[in-house]
A and B are shown apart, each in its own frame.
Chain A
Amino acid sequence: MDFDLNEDQSLLRDSIERLSADLYPSLEKRMAHAKAPLGFPEGNWAKFAELGIFGLPFSEEDGRFGGGPVETMLVMEAVGRHLVVEPVLPTLVLGATALRLGGSAAQRARYAPDVIAGTLRLTLAHTERQSRYDLFDVATAVRRTGEGYVLNGAKSVVPNADSAGMMVVSARLSGGRRDRAGIGLFLVPADAPGVSVSPYPTQDGGRAAEVAFTDVALPADSALGDPEGGLPLLERVIEHGIAALAAEAVGSMETLHRLTVEYLKTRTQFGTAIGGFQALQHRAVDMLIELEQARSMALYAAMMVETGDAQARAAALAAVKVRINTACRALGQEAVQLHGGIGMTMEYLGAHHFKRLAMIATQFGDTPHHLRTITDAEDGLLAA
């Protein structure tokens, strides 16, 4: 057992922490960033790229770093600690994982350098109006043509689609809407004719969009891997998404818990710091337990997400998401409560962490969804 970071990882952690802290010195600054036309300033993106983080997912032969899940975790913790609004997760985790695990050498060679350089942003379009969290529930359809494919359908709540140059889209080549077979992942340039993006803000200060595809012509090499057997790839991408969200949540909860404890020490009522009331002390301790249990599961996610055994991996990541969701809800709500009225205001940083945490719990599967995954496994989680 070894939970320590190696030297490179420590360096990465320090540099991403420094950059995030620099770019996000205050809540006002974050609000200003989020008001930029794309939902973040492009200059910030360039700074993340200069740090080399977008090379992390790719191996040395694709041009960079060769980082693993631990490196991604370190980046995402900083994203969470500072409530970074740049769409790091859609590019670094979702898009790049699809490309790394599903792309051919030619596809990777074509797109990885631009992603690494910070000139191409990616996202994943998989949710549909009826799908909820079922990755195999796909109505969006592709049809083969002489030259390649034609895509028709619609995707919902696509993260940062309005700033992505390329989307990875799940679409059905064959079978019925809820068949596990017949689904592929396709690379779709955001500016391809027939792609229409209706962007909107999200409840946590980010951006998302409804995306419609009308007779979008795609070349034959737009499929990532098997165009009819893409579900396992999509599942892996989402597992990486869960691991990344877990780390982000831990970063955000760390900050929120710290803010809460500081507040308990400084706010006075009845002539004493409210942190002197045992009723509140115990609540702050329960929050710490939530945080530490969540941290353990974020580490577990990093350790399990590259495991070869698909069944064990799926159960593990489902367990991670259940624990993270629970912690997000419990710690976030308690933080607001222990702040009293201040916790309810837009001017208070902690309220923004609360909102982000609440939204993390709705992404890539809520608690009932992932509990079902675990209970559907024959012997539950611990036997796996």
Chain B
Amino acid sequence: MDLRFTPEEVAFRDEVRGFCREKIPAEIRRKVSEGRGLSKEDIVTSQRILNAKGWAVPHWPTEWGGRDWTTVQRYIYTEELFQAAVPLPQQFNCYMFGPVLATFGRQDQKARFLPRAANLDDWWCQGFSEPGAGSDLASLKTRAVRDGDHYVVDGQKTWTTLGQHADWIFCLVRTDFEAKKQRGISFLLIDMKTPGITVRPIITLEGRHEVNEVFFDAVRVPVENLVGEENKGWDYAKFLLANERTGIARIGLTKERIARIKRLAKEMPAGAGSMWDDRDFRARVAGVEVELKALEITQMRVAAKKGRADSVEPDPASSLLKIRGSQLQQAATELLLELAGPFALAAPVRGEGTPGLPNDLPGGFDWVDAAAPSYFNNRKVSIYGGSNEIQHNVIAKGILGL
């Protein structure tokens, strides 16, 4: 038993750390750190820098740009990206679509799509959820009917994250209407420019355009865009969800948030000194840090048990990481909200920050108007990727046998 990194692992960590801080533009990292929205360009820029280094898709097969890293290296890499506030490689391309296609796709599909996905030449989005199919994903209704060498797709997807940027959408569609729920589903790749597709924005509660509704009206999709076998889509979706757990606890992200909160607390006036002089506040920060430490070790235990990070069945233990990890992400946004105090109320005027806020702190007061939006927006982390209630169900069934 040894929780310490080996000298090689430490060297690897330092390499990743140095690269992130030197090569990824500081302005992009600042936006990530402050929880402000990133433009498509920011995300593309950052990913291309990583890809040029061979680090955009390290967990893919080496044939398609992956690195033969150990689980520990993968862990270090993800955590370092988070801690340097580097945007993670576009998640739908790199953690969902890529691994599915690499595992179940045809060779010609891989050659066509994977390099472009790794370099973010194509932006992929995820078309799983529907208005009537959220937690109960298998009840999805979007239909694909065979017509010659095309499928004709009709229906609606929703909550499609950053669909407004997307060139392609990978969809779960129903291809067999008689079969049992899970059996009649296929995994289809659809060009967003195909006639009959309409994207309508959904504005989330903090005011950002992050998700969309996507409507399909007699959309013709070449049969060659089917992944794997017809009616086997549910298996691929399960594989995808298992992969989604890469860094699912986002410990590095929360660590970065906590480090920033400590920095800001030293600048934020309170009483005769700063918020950092307030022992009660520090105790609350410490409380989150304690949980975070424990989760970090839990995550390493889960990772060590796996060895290989891309087995087909989701490990119920990753549900535990998702639950506690999302709670801690949210706890950090609550601490930031507390830090902003009475200033949390201030909202920026479209694109220009909040007028008149005092600017006489070393770091300025300009972060305060992003504290509440970040708190609001982070309520999503216990809802998406399988809600925390569903994760409880998974553990109850999968680990406890209830």
Contact = CB atoms under 8 A, between A and B. Distances in A.
Interface in B187-236: 202-205, 207, 211
A200 B380 contact: no
Interface stretch (A105-113, A314-322, A347-355): A347-355
A203 B344 contact: yes
A344 B136 contact: no
Contact of B134 (A206, A340, A352): A340
A139 to B, nearest CB: 11
Nearest to A352: B205
Given A203-B345, A341-B383, A156 B358 contact: yes
A137 B271 CA distance: 8
Contacts of A212: 356
Given A200-B348, A340-B135, A341-B129, A280 B205 contact: no
Interface centre among A133, A200, A271 (most CB of B within 10 A): A200
A202 B368 CA distance: 12
A341 to B, nearest CB: 5
Contact of A368 (B132, B159, B281, B343): B281
Contacts, number: 143
A271 B211 CA distance: 26
A154 B358 contact: yes
B346 A200 contact: yes
A210 interface: yes
Interface stretch (B34-42, B144-152, B303-311, B371-379): B371-379
B53 to A, nearest CB: 35
A292 interface: no
Interface in A129-162: 129-130, 132-134, 137, 154, 156-157
B177 interface: no
A87 interface: no
Contact of A132 (B202, B207, B269, B380): B269
A111 to B, nearest CB: 26
A54 B365 CA distance: 36
Interface stretch (B65-73, B102-110, B334-342): B334-342
Contact of A341 (B134, B269, B341, B342): B134
Contact of A129 (B204, B269, B278): B269
B166 interface: no
A362 B358 contact: no
B205 A355 contact: yes
Interface in A312-370: 329, 333, 336-337, 340-341, 343-348, 351-352, 354-355, 358-359, 362-363, 366, 368
A153 to B, nearest CB: 12
Given A132-B341, A341-B159, A346 B207 contact: yes
Contact of A203 (B159, B341, B347, B392): B347
B205 A346 contact: yes
A298 to B, nearest CB: 21
B384 A201 contact: no
A311 interface: no
Contacts of A209: 356
B22 interface: no
B349 interface: yes
A140 to B, nearest CB: 13
B271 A363 contact: no
B208 to A, nearest CB: 9
A209 B346 CA distance: 8
Given A156-B343, A341-B158, A354-B205, A201 B349 contact: yes
Contacts of A129: 269, 358, 360, 365
Nearest to A159: B345
Contacts of A347: 202-203
B246 interface: no
A199 to B, nearest CB: 7
A203 B344 CA distance: 8
Interface in B317-355: 334, 337-338, 340-349, 354-355
A180 interface: no
A359 B203 CA distance: 20
A210 B356 CA distance: 6
A127 B204 contact: no
12 contacts: A132-B269, A132-B341, A202-B346, A269-B135, A329-B334, A341-B380, A341-B383, A355-B205, A366-B338, A366-B341, A368-B281, A372-B280
Given A203-B345, A358-B376, 20 more contacts: A127-B342, A129-B365, A130-B269, A132-B341, A156-B357, A156-B358, A157-B342, A199-B355, A202-B347, A208-B345, A270-B139, A336-B379, A340-B134, A341-B129, A341-B134, A341-B159, A358-B337, A362-B337, A362-B344, A366-B338
Interface of A: 127, 129-130, 132-134, 137, 154, 156-157, 178, 198-204, 206, 208-210, 212, 268-271, 277, 279-280, 329, 333, 336-337, 340-341, 343-348, 351-352, 354-355, 358-359, 362-363, 366, 368, 372
